[in-house]
Amino acid sequence: MSRIGKAPIKLAGGVTVTVSPANEVTVKGPKGELKRTIDRDLKIEVKDGVLTVTRPTDQIRHKALHGLTRALIANMVTGVTDGFKKQLELVGVGYKAANNGQLLDLSLGYSHNIVIEIPKELKVATLTEKGQNPKIMLEGSDNQLLGQVAAKIRSLRKPEPYKGKGVRYSDEVVRKKAGKSAGK
């Protein structure tokens, strides 16, 4: 059995999980509502505030989907109760970030500013303190969407290995390379 797949998910107070006949799982909680369609072979049972995912056979496909489905539903439950946060940091001289509602305006050393529209499901905030690198805080209940948007922002100027300049996650460690050696 999958260790992750057979682990039960405890539902916090105020969280309801419903499964439609078309195997669409809907999780509602204090921070919103998330929906996801799962594989038709897997079964989801909710009893006494505990959700379990079971698979019909030990086929390779069912084994692969068992742990994945359980992890996705667990992330949905966590998202509607606590939510998820990601923080990005802009390292480099002249790099700036500002937001106007859901529009994120980035100055990353190119000849023009980059403006990104953040999906309405996410909250965005920017912070610029004197002597500190500018920070971008993303917050939302959908872990997949949050990670995708954060990765898109990071891909605009990835951290380079010589000086470490670029957009990075605040907990990311960038390994630096040695530059050219001086002549003899």
The pLDDT value given to residue 4? 86
The pLDDT value given to residue 183? 58
- Burial of residue 61, with CB atoms counted within 10 A of its CB: 0-12 exposed, 13-18 middle, 19 or more buried: exposed
CB of 96 closer than 8 Å to CB of 128: yes
Interval 166-179: pLDDT, tens: 999 999 999 999 88
Q: Is the pLDDT of residue 184 over 70?
A: no
Model pTM score = 0.88
Domain end residue (candidates: 81, 102, 119)? 81
The pLDDT value given to residue 90? 95
Interval 90-147: pLDDT, tens: 999 999 999 999 999 999 999 999 999 999 999 999 999 999 999 999 999 999 999 9
Whose tokens are 């990005």? That residue is: 88
Which helix (DSSP H) or strand (DSSP E) does residue 147 occupy? helix 143-155
Q: Domain of 89: which CATH number?
A: 3.90.930.12
Instruction: Please report the DSSP string for 30-47 in residue order.
Output: TTEEEEEE--TT-EEEEE
Interval 22-58: pLDDT, tens: 889 999 999 999 999 999 999 999 998 899 999 999 9
The boundaries of the domain holding residue 63 are 9-81
Residues 111 and 70 both lie in one domain? no
Residues 69 and 108 both lie in one domain? no
The pLDDT value given to residue 29? 93
Residues 37 and 71 both lie in one domain? yes
Interval 71-87: pLDDT, tens: 999 999 999 999 999 99
Alpha-carbon gap, residue 104 to 116, rounded angstroms: 5
Alpha-carbon gap, residue 52 to 54, rounded angstroms: 7
Residues 99 and 154 both lie in one domain? yes
Residues in the chain: 184
The pLDDT value given to residue 182? 63
